[in-house]
Chain A
């Protein structure tokens, strides 16, 4: 609350809300009160609103208004019907489109794979924290992929996973037949998600390491003295102590998966094979840019927005609940 801090005279107006007011010295408050009752009442009362006005205006004009325009646009037609209202026509078309259904079910798949995407950096961070041999080396190496752009990562894995690529060559030397990693509709989505996790887990790892920094080492020592195994230490000490961090990583990883897989998809599979790796984002881009269906694309965007809203609210709720437990 920068307003409260920089402008002591206004504080009483917001004192009811700001929890920070409780720690303010009483003298300060009593000094402010007489002034407020004497004069300039109107200006002081409206000052906070005026001060937040620019921020509110920016949010309303540049965020909410375009959002409403986009939602409104999704109820109009494309092509010859440009500008005319078509009701829920675009939405009906979307839900009848098997491609969009695939995109939505892939979102479901991402949610199911989320625990894996969180567990990998979590486990690796635990090992680094427990100082496995070479932990300094791993700490820097794990972060490397996070600085690469998805386009470069995608191009690298395109080469590695090509039908005549090195991975199949290695498999072949063990006598395993080649697999069309990016050409088999049952496998391709897992490969793309796998590469996405590989490329982004470095960030989550750093967050986990930061969480570990706040962990009380005495707890670990106590557990060891009591003769706990590594598994028991992880399960009964580390995970409970890091619950806030884990939840934070859950939220950011989910958002990352839903909103920043486009580059990888575009480079690695272009939504294929057989449309099996479509995600709503990619579908929106395709309809808007390639098919010249901007209104249909904005209907899909609206649905993606709703999904994100629901996911986000659920996660905020989870965070709040865990906050209470603390």
Chain B
């Protein structure tokens, strides 16, 4: 622990010095032969090498004189360090952000990119997560979404057709009974941190809420007393009551114990991610691409259409204090150029923001996910405040253990949502 503290202190000081040095460098020189500094938490990883090489090559073509330096920061301190840089008004010219709250809280320090990235708008998806008040502040690199993965081998063992998983909730529950008979659990669930309910909410949202309710939820007008919102929590409780989840869900960590349960074939379904961890490439370590399926959410409320919930994952933004925003924006664009993103997709196993990338090599699961991006919508849980999410996590554990009613849950969540 102490060793770690010392090292991180050394790192912080070193990086701070590097940051200061570069800021003064770019201050001295003109934009054409200057130097751009990029902060992120990915460039140190081996899988990012070819991605960065491609992005640098693309940028070199446009600005051969400008040098680019990538500084990898530790992720757990990234926003703390960035906050210090923003306070002092000098730091990296280009920086990586998570979509959603992380970038929206800091747009004061960023340059709106709408004028520079107009050409990319069509090619890339996930812009909304980096936008605030109609202005875009970062070029998306990856997408993060919550598909439902299933294990085709278990379907076969349970005499179910792996090619056509259930499309309605009732059929799905019946399938789960068959899967239970074949000796497997229906869901691999890790709800120790209370994150399981977040994935549930987003994965099942499109088929439980009507389209109007869904859009209102994202827009911030959430009617917690509506029958369909309650239904979201009732189906969650049902999975607990009918023993559809893996044992001890409330003491199982989602990252990565629940994903391990799915990978090792102990459960037939998991609500996973598209990028970073708990996703198709992770699973492929034990589940071959042919065995891994991605299904649409089973329809709970008649008349709804399943859509894939996803948001922009990470993206590069340009700092206000950079010498020439045009050059920096070009670098951000190069970092989400087609070639670079293709390399990122291939090596890191992320679903890149570029929907034109050919993913047919990676197996049917990825093709299904990418195919659904066009109709996808923002995830429900991303719209909630961290306080409400924390409360929802605890209430979801109580729902599973049966110590609270659905009515009480929505009442508490409504109070927290309105207060926040």
Tell whether B355 is near chain A: CB-to-CB under 8 Å: no
One of A26-34, A36-44, A81-89, A176-184 contacting the partner = A176-184
Interface residues of B in 152-199 (CB under 8 A from A): 192-194
A281 to chain B, nearest CB (A): 16
Also in contact, A290 and B386, with CB within 8 A (given A178-B247, A273-B397): yes
Query: CB within 8 Å of B: which of A184-203?
Result: 184-185, 188
Partner of A164, one of B193, B248, B394: B248
Q: Is A162 an interface residue (CB 8 A)?
A: yes
Rounded to whole Å, the gap between the CB of B193 and the closest CB of chain A is 5
Q: Which residue of A lies closest to B385 (CB)?
A: A291
Q: Mark A255-276, 1 if CB is under 8 A from B, else 0.
A: 0000000000000011011110
Shortest Cβ distance from B193 into A: residue:
A270
Given contacts A149-B1, A290-B386, A292-B386, contact A274 B403 (CB under 8 A): yes
Residue B30 at the A interface, CB < 8 A? no
Contact of A275 with B394 in the complex, beta carbons under 8 Å: yes
Give every chain A residue within 8 A of B43 (Cβ-Cβ): none
Residues of B within 8 A of A292 (CB): 386
A290-B386, A291-B387, A291-B390 known; A273 and B247 CB under 8 Å? no
Task: Check if B356 is an interface residue, CB within 8 A of chain A.
Answer: no
Picked from B247, B252, B394, the residue with its CB within 8 Å of the CB of A274 is B394
**Which residues from chain A contact B103 at a C-beta distance below 8 Å?**
none
**Residues of the B chain whose Cβ atoms lie less than 8 Å from the Cβ of A275:** 394
Q: Which residues of B contact A91 (CB under 8 A)?
A: none
**B249 & A183 in contact (Cβ 8 Å cutoff):** yes
User: How many residues of chain A get a CB closer than 8 Å to chain B's CBs?
Assistant: 24
If A185-B401, A274-B403 touch, does A180 touch B251 (CB 8 Å cutoff)? Answer: yes
Whether B368 is near chain A, meaning CB under 8 Å from some CB there, is no
The B interface, classified by DSSP as helix, strand, loop or mixed, is helix
A274 near B251 (CB under 8 angstroms)?
no
CA distance A180 to B251 in the complex (A): 7
Closest to A182 in B: B251
Contact B398 A163 (CB under 8 A): no
A184→B401 contact, CB < 8 A: yes
Q: List A contacts of B397 (CB < 8 A).
A: 185, 272-274
User: 1/0 per residue A147-172: CB within 8 Å of B?
Assistant: 00100000000000111100000000
Residues of B within 8 A of A183 (CB): 192, 248-252, 401
A274, B395: Cα distance in complex, Å = 7
The interface bits of chain B over 233-274 (1 if a CB of A lies within 8 angstroms of the residue's CB, else 0) are 000000000000001111110000000000000000000000
Chain A residue nearest to B101 (CB atoms) is A292
Would you call A273 and B386 a contact (CB within 8 A)?
A: no
Cβ–Cβ contact B390 & A273, under 8 A: no
User: Most chain-A CB neighbours within 10 Å: which of B192, B249, B251, B401?
Assistant: B251
Give CA–CA (A145, B266) in the complex, Å. 34
Report the Cα distance A161→B252, complex, angstroms: 11
Interface size on B, residues (CB 8 A): 19
Q: Which residue of A lies closest to B404 (CB)?
A: A274
Q: Are A273 and B401 in contact (CB under 8 A)?
A: yes
For window 80-115 of A, CB contacts with B under 8 Å fall at 99
Whole-angstrom CA separation of A26 from B11 in the bound complex:
61
The smallest beta-carbon distance between B383 and chain A, in angstroms, is 17
The reply to whether B247 and A164 contact each other, CB–CB distance below 8 Å, is yes
Known: A272-B394, A272-B397. A180 touches B192 (CB 8 A): no
Contacts of A272 in B (CB 8 A): 192-194, 250, 393-394, 397
- Inter-subunit contact A274/B1 (CB<8 Å): no
A296 CB to closest chain B CB (Å) equals 11
The residues of A that contact B194 with a CB separation of less than 8 Å are: 272
Q: Which residues of A have CB within 8 Å of B390? A: 286, 290-291
Chain B residues whose CB sits within 8 angstroms of the CB of A286 once the complex forms: 390
- Which of the residues A99, A149, A162, A290 comes within 8 Å of B251, measured between beta carbons? A162
Contact B1 A273 (CB under 8 A): no
Known A-B contacts A149-B1, A180-B251, A272-B194; the reply to A291 vs B401 at CB < 8 A is no
Report the Cα distance A286→B193, complex, angstroms: 12
Cβ A273 vs Cβ B251 within 8 A:
yes
Question: What are the residues of chain B within 8 A of A269 when measuring CB–CB?
Answer: 192, 251
Q: How far is the CA of A164 from the CA of B185 in the complex (A)?
A: 13
A163 and B248 within 8 A (CB): yes
A50 to B59 alpha-carbon distance, docked (Å):
65
- Report the minimum CB–CB distance from A287 to chain B (whole Å): 9
List which B188-243 residues lie within 8 A (CB) of chain A: 192-194
Query: Which residues from B are CB-within-8-Å of A270?
Result: 192-193
B248 touches A162 (CB 8 A): yes
Q: Would you list the 8 A-B pairs with minimal beta carbon distance, nearest first?
A: A163-B248, A183-B251, A183-B250, A182-B251, A273-B250, A163-B247, A274-B397, A180-B248
Listed by A's residue number, 16 A-B pairs whose Cβ atoms lie within 8 Å are A162-B252, A163-B252, A178-B248, A180-B248, A180-B251, A182-B251, A183-B192, A183-B249, A183-B250, A185-B403, A272-B397, A273-B397, A274-B250, A274-B394, A274-B401, A292-B386
* Beyond known contacts A183-B250, A274-B394, A290-B386: 16 more, CB 8 A cutoff: A163-B251, A180-B247, A182-B248, A182-B251, A183-B249, A183-B252, A183-B401, A185-B397, A185-B403, A270-B193, A272-B250, A274-B250, A274-B397, A274-B401, A290-B390, A291-B390
